[in-house]
């Protein structure tokens, strides 16, 4: 997901008492992949700067593959083959993410849908012209026709790549809800291979932890900003070594049509933006999975999402907050250890 967070994932030093007063000097950030990336080191600014160089090269490479905006990206060129009958061999990275996205799509019965690109555009997202009235039934039906993921044809081209045929003209793949997480995983693997320790990687709200933020803590203290502004932080928790976290929310990326606000997260089964949910945060073993699941569980909601998580990804943990504005309206799923999660009371 461009994370464009309703929730703001905060590194530990912003949560009073969870870091030294000069922690901000150990964090470097830069723009990439349509968002802001950062690396924070528990040791020194030079360690963060060194890690940034590795991450920056990886993120630039992934942007050239997955950008839905750049016409020269591999994804954009693949979308141009829709309806031509051509089967295109995808790069190793694109193949991997496509396989994972389609697996999540199948698990969720299309709630998470990598063919959501046309539906996003009829609502005014992804560079489309402003929309002045809600799309009608025929427009939505056409967008759903172009979102029929079951029509995609994949074949194994090599041990590490697939060939993909997009059968219908106008179908558009959009992997923005999972590709940034994958990029974080690549950066994590590179830094671990280089022997780096005690770093927190952040790409637009997709975080993955290496080591710990403070000696003996066992991870990085991370927080979720209160979406309703009643307190600075709604919850804080420990992101353990190797774990990743992502959040999907309804706040920053939205359109207003006839006085009504619509968030950018669209249910792949209906073609309509999700309503009723403020945000969903997911902790998972990889950033790619956290990224994809945060969107999926946002769409499914707490009740169906909990059942989905327990059936398909019981190793993950999640928090849902609906848009009721009530601080007690939240749901939790997964094995949150008592000393690793704290829901903060309103001051």
Q: What digits encode the pLDDT tens for the residues 251-296?
A: 666 777 777 777 789 999 999 999 988 889 999 999 999 999 999 9
Beta-carbon count within 10 A of 256 CB: 11
36: which strand partners?
A: 31
- Give every CB contact of residue 73 below 8 A, 6+ residues apart in sequence: 63, 64, 65, 66, 67
Q: Across residues 233-256, what is the average pLDDT?
A: 84
- pLDDT for residue 16 is more than 60: no
Instruction: Provide the pLDDT for residue 55.
Output: 97
In terms of phi and psi (left: phi > 0; alpha: psi -120 to 50; beta: otherwise), the region of 33 is left
Tokens 């609502």, located at residue: 123
CA dist list (Å): 139 to 110, 111, 118, 128 = 19, 19, 10, 14
**225-229, 263-267, 323-327: range with lowest mean pLDDT:** 225-229
Tell me what percent of the residues of the chain surpass a pLDDT of 70: 87
Instruction: Provide the pLDDT for residue 230.
Output: 63
pLDDT-derived band at 346 (thresholds 50, 70, 90) equals low
The distance in angstroms from the start CA to the end CA of the chain is 32
Q: Across residues 221-230, what is the average pLDDT?
A: 75
Contact by Cβ (8 Å): 271, 282 = no
**Planar angle of CA 79, 98, 195, nearest 5 degrees:** 125
pLDDT-derived band at 339 (thresholds 50, 70, 90) equals low
Instruction: Provide the pLDDT for residue 252.
Output: 62
Distance CA 345, CA 292 (A): 29
Contact by Cβ (8 Å): 248, 265 = yes
Q: Across residues 170-188, what is the average pLDDT?
A: 96
Helix (H) or strand (E) segment spanning residue 248? strand 244-249
Instruction: Look up the CATH number of the domain holding residue 132.
Output: 3.10.520.10
pLDDT-derived band at 11 (thresholds 50, 70, 90) equals very low
What's the mean per-residue pLDDT of the chain? 87
Check the CA dihedral 50-56-61-65 and report its sign: positive
Contact by Cβ (8 Å): 115, 171 = yes
b/e code 309-335 from CB counts within 10 Å (16+ = b): beeebeebbbbbbbbeeebeebeebbe
Instruction: Provide the pLDDT for residue 261.
Output: 76
Instruction: Provide the pLDDT for residue 5.
Output: 37
- The DSSP letter of residue 339 is G
- pLDDT for residue 7 is more than 60: no
Q: Across residues 181-202, what is the average pLDDT?
A: 97
pLDDT-derived band at 229 (thresholds 50, 70, 90) equals low
- pLDDT for residue 31 is more than 50: yes
- φ and ψ at residue 40, rounded to 5 degrees: -120, 135
> Which structural domain, as residue segments, surrounds residue 171?
1-347
Distance CA 237, CA 175 (A): 28
Task: Provide the number of structural domains found in the chain.
Answer: 1
Helix (H) or strand (E) segment spanning residue 296? helix 287-312
Query: Of 198, 205, 203, which is closest to residue 242 (Cα–Cα)?
Result: 198
- φ and ψ at residue 209, rounded to 5 degrees: -100, 140
Q: Across residues 37-45, what is the average pLDDT?
A: 94
- pLDDT for residue 20 is more than 60: no
Q: Across residues 49-66, what is the average pLDDT?
A: 97
- pLDDT for residue 13 is more than 70: no
């Amino acid at each position: 997901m461009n994370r464009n967070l309703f929730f703001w994932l905060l590194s530990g030093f912003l949560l009073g008492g969870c870091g030294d007063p000069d922690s901000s000097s150990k964090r470097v950030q830069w723009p990439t992949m349509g968002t802001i990336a950062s690396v924070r080191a528990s040791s020194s600014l030079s360690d963060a700067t060194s890690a940034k160089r590795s991450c920056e090269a990886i993120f630039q490479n992934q942007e050239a593959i997955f950008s839905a905006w750049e016409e020269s990206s591999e994804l954009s060129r693949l979308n141009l083959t829709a309806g031509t009958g051509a089967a295109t061999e995808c790069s190793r990275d694109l193949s991997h993410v496509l396989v994972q996205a389609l697996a999540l799509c199948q698990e969720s019965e299309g709630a998470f849908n990598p063919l959501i690109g046309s539906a996003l555009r009829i609502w005014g997202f992804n560079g489309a012209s402003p929309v002045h009235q809600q799309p009608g039934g025929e427009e939505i039906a056409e967008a759903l026709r172009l979102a029929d993921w079951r029509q995609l044809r994949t074949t194994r081209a090599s041990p590490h790549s697939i060939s993909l045929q997009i059968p219908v003209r106008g179908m558009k793949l959009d992997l923005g809800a999972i590709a940034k997480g994958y990029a974080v995983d690549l950066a994590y693997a590179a830094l671990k291979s280089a022997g780096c320790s005690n770093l927190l990687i952040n790409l637009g709200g997709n975080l993955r932890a290496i080591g710990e933020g403070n000696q003996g803590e066992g991870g990085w203290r991370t927080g979720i900003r209160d979406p309703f502004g009643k307190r600075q932080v709604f919850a804080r928790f420990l992101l353990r070594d190797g774990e990743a976290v992502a959040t999907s929310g309804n706040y920053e990326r939205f359109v207003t049509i006839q006085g009504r606000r619509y968030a950018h997260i669209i249910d792949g089964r209906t073609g309509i933006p999700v309503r009723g949910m403020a945000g969903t945060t997911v902790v998972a073993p990889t950033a790619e999975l956290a990224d994809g699941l945060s969107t999926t569980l946002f769409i499914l909601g707490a009740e169906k999402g909990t059942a989905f998580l327990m059936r398909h990804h019981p190793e993950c943990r999640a928090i849902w907050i609906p848009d009721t504005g009530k601080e007690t309206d939240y749901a939790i799923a997964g094995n949150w250890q008592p000393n690793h999660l704290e829901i903060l009371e309103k001051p």
